[in-house]
């Protein structure tokens, strides 16, 4: 099902002309046509997503083409894009889908099609698996890891506020939780952090993360695959793991109240932007 929001179709053909002054007088030349913009689809928690578009006043009309997979024939989505902005709400089967927008410039001598680049997206929940480790001085089990990862996934998948989107991402444990005994469980130097394995590493305390700092409860490669976390309150531990995983995916801090990627974790640190969701899903 496609739900679109746009303006009525224009009822006339537009003629656009530009002026070029020469030695013999004024010569009329057509203006250079420019394509509109096809936005990154915004994912919703119900499996749908919205394809945003922007067109320009000198475009007669635009349509969005789609196909399942990355090869094969294209089909046209219901409706047309009009000069301005709008969106199509799309409900598609799980898998890879591609989109592009074609706009049509009409002049006195005919019409020209201009295309945006193709955009590829994956419909459905993306699952990431990560190994989980703990220092031998700390008791930590498979069930504890699963509970935290479930909370982290739920935080990402649920739209809690008007500024939050439901990002279809799941983080799961890979294999059994494993104990390590190198060091004393404290991350106090770059060498301590560098000795950690790829995945989530539960440690006793962290005083180094890119430098000596106090009150650190999580540290991660940005981007990369190593994460160090200390135990936190059960209500907020999922936020912490989701936040540090975001760094591994290449996200920096977004210091806005309520953001999951804020540099300080609060009880309302749940919001994921569409930009962040695309990093979480890659």
pLDDT digits (tens, 9 = 90+) for 102-124: 877 777 777 777 888 887 777 77
Model confidence at 278, pLDDT cuts 50, 70, 90, reads confident
* pTM reported for the whole predicted model: 0.68
Most confident of 24-28, 60-64, 162-166, 220-224: 220-224
pLDDT of residue 83: 67
Determine the Cα–Cα distance for residues 114 and 36; give it in Å rounded to an integer. Answer: 9
Angular region, 274: left φ>0, alpha ψ -120 to 50, beta rest: alpha
Tokens describing residue 84: 């301005």
Q: What percent of the chain has pLDDT over 70?
A: 76
Confidence of residue 256 (pLDDT cuts 50, 70, 90): very high
Q: How far apart are the C-alpha atoms of 251 and 248, rounded to whole Å?
A: 7
For 33, the token pair is 């046509």
Pick the residue with more confidence: 207 or 111? Answer: 207
Candidates 162, 124, 104, 113; CA nearest to 41 is 124
- Amino acid 219: pLDDT: 98
Alpha-helical runs (H) found in the chain: 142-157, 190-194, 234-248, 274-280
Which of 278 and 245 is assigned the larger pLDDT?
245
Mean pLDDT of 150-154: 97
Q: How confident is the model over 65-76, as pLDDT tens digits? A: 888 888 889 988
- The Cα 22–Cα 145 span in angstroms is 75
DSSP letter assigned to residue 250: T
The CA distance from 32 to 105, in Å, is 10
Angstrom distances, CA of residue 113 to CA of 5, 31, 39, 50, 105: 22, 14, 19, 24, 6
Q: Where are the domains of the chain?
A: 2-123, 126-280
Closest CA to 109 of 29, 23, 166: 29
- Give yes or no for a contact between 89 and 2, defined as CB atoms under 8 angstroms apart: yes
* pLDDT of the residue at 60: 61
pLDDT above 50 (res 31): no
CB 158 within 8 A of CB 150: no
Q: What are the backbone angles phi and psi of residue 166, rounded to the nearest 5°?
A: -80, 110
CA distance 180 to 203: 10
Q: Is the pLDDT of residue 29 over 50?
A: no
Give the lowest-confidence range in 8-22, 44-58, 109-123, 177-191.
Answer: 8-22
Q: What is the mean pLDDT of the chain?
A: 80
**126-280: which CATH architecture?**
3-Layer(aba) Sandwich (3.40)
Interatomic CA distance for residues 74 and 135, integer angstroms? 53
3-state secondary structure of 238: helix
pLDDT value for 44 = 55
CATH number of 2-123: 2.60.40.10
């Amino acid at each position: 099902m496609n739900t679109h929001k746009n303006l009525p179709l224009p009822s006339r053909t537009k003629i656009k002309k530009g002026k070029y002054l020469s030695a013999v007088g004024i010569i009329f030349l057509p203006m250079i046509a420019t394509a509109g913009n096809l936005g990154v689809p915004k994912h919703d928690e119900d499996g749908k997503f919205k394809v945003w578009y922007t067109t320009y006043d000198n475009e007669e009309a635009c349509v969005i083409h789609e196909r399942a997979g990355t090869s094969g024939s294209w089909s046209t989505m219901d409706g047309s894009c009009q000069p301005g902005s709008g969106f199509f709400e799309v409900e598609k089967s799980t898998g890879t889908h591609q989109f592009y927008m074609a706009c049509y410039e009409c002049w006195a001598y005919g019409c020209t099609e201009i295309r945006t680049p193709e955009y590829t997206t994956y419909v459905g929940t993306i699952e990431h698996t990560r190994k989980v480790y703990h220092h031998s001085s700390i008791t930590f089990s498979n069930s504890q890891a699963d509970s935290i990862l479930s909370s982290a996934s739920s935080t990402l998948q649920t739209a809690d506020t008007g500024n939050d989107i439901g990002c279809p991402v799941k983080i799961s444990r890979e294999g059994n939780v494993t104990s390590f005994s190198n060091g004393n469980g404290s991350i106090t130097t770059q060498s301590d952090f560098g000795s950690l394995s790829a995945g989530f590493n539960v440690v006793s305390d962290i005083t180094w993360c890119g430098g000596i700092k106090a009150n650190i409860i999580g540290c991660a490669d940005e981007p990369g695959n190593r994460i160090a976390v200390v135990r936190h309150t059960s209500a907020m531990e999922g936020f912490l793991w989701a936040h540090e995983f975001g760094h591994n995916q290449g996200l920096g801090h977004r210091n806005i109240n309520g953001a999951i990627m804020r540099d300080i974790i609060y009880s309302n640190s749940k919001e994921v932007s569409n930009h962040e969701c695309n990093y979480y899903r890659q």
